[in-house]
Amino acid sequence: MDLTISKTNDCWFDNAIENFYSLLLTFDYNQKLNICLNEFDLKISGNENDFIEILDNLFEHHKNYVCIKKEENGEIKEFLKDFILIQKRRKGLFINLNPILFKNSKEEVPKIVHLLNEKGSKHCVICDNSFKKKYDKLTQAVYPFTTKIKSLNGVRSYKNGMYYSFKDYENNICPLCFLIGILGWVTEKLIYWTDLNRKKGYLFLPKSRNLLELYEFKEDCFNVSLLNNQRLSNINIYLNGENKFTEGKFSTLLCFYSRFILECDYVPNIDWDILEIPLGSIKNIRVFNFDVNYLILNIIKDFIDKDEDVYILFKSILFFNNDCVDWGLTKQIVENLAESFLNNDFRSFSRNFLPKNGSKILFSSKNINFLEYFDLLIYLWRLRPMSIKKEDLKTIKSVANIVAKISVHNSNLFYKLDKIKTIDGFWSCLREISKKLLNPDLDKSKIKESSLCDLIILLKTNEGNWKEIRDLLIIYSAVYFSINSRRELNGD
């Protein structure tokens, strides 16, 4: 028996090939097969009966593996991992792995293995290799993008200038791709997160130029000890004395990076395809590409090197409405911050700090060093790449304090700042701030009026960076506005 499986540039199948390699290595206890992963293919050779025995063990072992076992009312009950498309709830307490290969591996594994080496006139829609007879039809259990809806179809491709029809590709999956695809769900090395409110699961598929790199990265992921015995998410972090799970897809990714860099001490060169899998009966799967930004990953690492964590910094932000924490909004803001940070989108990041309908952002009193590390984030993310000096940040913060004090009487100022679209608009906004400083009712304690002139000089010498300076002013004004109102709240 001699098999070669080439890299496909399809995120599901590349991960499935890497996964097949890992599974075979684990289950070939006596090293009977030659299994070799190269940059662009996986080669397997050996005795067919040995291969059958190893595969049979593998399927048998994973029969009750992908679901969660929990005790409820004194009985052990199994729960679905909602995003896994080979599970079905059985009547009663147990989950069923639906495909017949899992149900009846003793009989089915020899059938599929015998088909692997038969060449024929058919061509596989996934790997393009020729084969004689399919093992079974292409379904979402094998390739999650499979669907009858044309516009959503991930498999559909050209053949002599014509699209394949659904029937064409449904019947043209070679037995090897079938086998590898279906086992793609059986893995302990992929991150997942589930949003029960919106009824969507997310599976994070790493992308790499070569299979060896993919394998090494996923081995390191495994060593970050993903909590695969949990139903909704396998990424958690120790926070305020307890282990907490993430609450959004970008928060999950940010939390993952913090943990990964902490454990593995390097910044991985990996992009992502994030699958969004509806939990209902119709599974039109969407995919989001996410390419990482090295400036951002290096900031996460700089924080880890200082024994701090960007994710935890964001988690100490709270959103207050009428002096109560609005947990729904807080969750949403943390997710927005994670998303804009990972996308290196400072503009969106800054807008989250604006007070909304009388509610405002505060930070948890459990994180007394919040401002220090927030300044560090701003320094690493904006000031250092823009070559703005730390002293200039003092000027921006000082004007931000003025804006915060004026906003006690006139919170429209925030929105005017946010709406500035040209540098001329910025000048006129600064003139307005200058006029408002003359208001005799204004609390002028801790205000340095001359900082307004310093900001004008800073803007004139950094005209190209005026947008960044505007966003920094928005962020710090909002933060000081919150600090001031909390002082009032505490009677301080």
Return the number of the residue (127 or 361) whose C-beta is nearest Zn ion: 127
Q: Shortest distance, CB of residue 27 to Zn ion, whole angstroms? A: 22
Please tell me the count of residues contacting Zn ion according to CB under 5 A: 5
Stretch that binds Zn ion, among 111-119, 173-181, 227-235, 433-441 (CB under 5 A): 173-181
Q: Shortest distance, CB of residue 143 to Zn ion, whole angstroms? A: 10
Query: CB neighbours of 83 closer than 8 A, spacing ≥ 6?
Result: 192, 194, 201, 202, 203, 275, 277, 279
From CA 401, how far away is CA 109, in angstroms rounded? 70
Q: Shortest distance, CB of residue 113 to Zn ion, whole angstroms? A: 15
Return the number of the residue (40 or 327) whose C-beta is nearest Zn ion: 40
Query: CB neighbours of 51 closer than 8 A, spacing ≥ 6?
Result: 1, 33, 44, 113
Return the number of the residue (17 or 124) whose C-beta is nearest Zn ion: 124
Return the number of the residue (112 or 127) whose C-beta is nearest Zn ion: 127
Q: Shortest distance, CB of residue 216 to Zn ion, whole angstroms? A: 25
Binding-site string for Zn ion from residue 260 to residue 289, where x marks contact by CB under 5 A and - marks none: ------------------------------
Burial of 198 (0-12, 13-18, 19+ CB in 10 A): exposed
Q: Shortest distance, CB of residue 13 to Zn ion, whole angstroms? A: 9
Q: Shortest distance, CB of residue 19 to Zn ion, whole angstroms? A: 16
Return the number of the residue (168 or 271) whose C-beta is nearest Zn ion: 168
Return the number of the residue (82 or 136) whose C-beta is nearest Zn ion: 136
Stretch that binds Zn ion, among 141-149, 172-180, 348-356, 422-430 (CB under 5 A): 172-180
Stretch that binds Zn ion, among 25-33, 117-125, 379-387, 473-481 (CB under 5 A): 117-125
Task: Single out the residue of 52, 174, 179, 237 in contact with Zn ion (rule: CB under 5 A).
Answer: 174
Stretch that binds Zn ion, among 123-131, 183-191, 241-249, 392-400 (CB under 5 A): 123-131
For the range 261-266, what are the long-range contacts, defined as Cβ-Cβ under 8 Å and sequence gap of 24 or more? 261/297, 261/300, 261/301, 261/304, 262/304, 262/309, 263/220, 263/223, 263/224, 264/220, 264/223, 264/224
Return the number of the residue (51 or 381) whose C-beta is nearest Zn ion: 51
Would you count residue 177 as binding Zn ion (CB under 5 A)?
yes
What is the residue whose two structure tokens read 């020899």? 110
Return the number of the residue (178 or 256) whose C-beta is nearest Zn ion: 178
From CA 351, how far away is CA 355, in angstroms rounded? 9
Distances (CA, A) of 369 to 119, 298, 307, 363, 470: 66, 21, 12, 10, 25
Binding-site string for Zn ion from residue 126 to residue 145, where x marks contact by CB under 5 A and - marks none: xx------------------
Would you count residue 16 as binding Zn ion (CB under 5 A)?
no
As a whole number of angstroms, the longest Cα–Cα distance in the chain is 91
Determine the 3-state secondary structure of 45 from DSSP: strand
From CA 329, how far away is CA 89, in angstroms rounded? 34
Q: Shortest distance, CB of residue 159 to Zn ion, whole angstroms? A: 15
From CA 100, how far away is CA 233, in angstroms rounded? 27
Side-chain-side CA neighbours of 236 within 13 Å: the count stands at 17
Q: What number of helices (H) and strands (E) belong to the chain? A: 19, 20
Query: CB neighbours of 40 closer than 8 A, spacing ≥ 6?
Result: 6, 7, 210, 211
Q: Shortest distance, CB of residue 122 to Zn ion, whole angstroms? A: 10
Q: Which two tokens stand for residue 221?
A: 């992921």
Q: What angle do CA 40, 42, 43 make, to 5 degrees?
A: 125
Q: Shortest distance, CB of residue 388 to Zn ion, whole angstroms? A: 54
Q: Which two tokens stand for residue 314?
A: 């964001």
Q: Which of 335, 328, 366, 360 is nearest to 349 (CA)?
A: 335
Q: Shortest distance, CB of residue 174 to Zn ion, whole angstroms? A: 3
Stretch that binds Zn ion, among 45-53, 118-126, 265-273, 437-445 (CB under 5 A): 118-126
From CA 385, how far away is CA 387, in angstroms rounded? 6
Return the number of the residue (123 or 390) whose C-beta is nearest Zn ion: 123
Stretch that binds Zn ion, among 122-130, 271-279, 387-395, 474-482 (CB under 5 A): 122-130
Return the number of the residue (111 or 351) whose C-beta is nearest Zn ion: 111
Q: Which of 277, 152, 268 is nearest to 214 (CA)?
A: 268
Q: Shortest distance, CB of residue 124 to Zn ion, whole angstroms? A: 3
Return the number of the residue (18 or 468) whose C-beta is nearest Zn ion: 18
Would you count residue 124 as binding Zn ion (CB under 5 A)?
yes
Query: Residue numbers of the site for Zn ion (CB under 5 A)?
Result: 124, 126-127, 174, 177
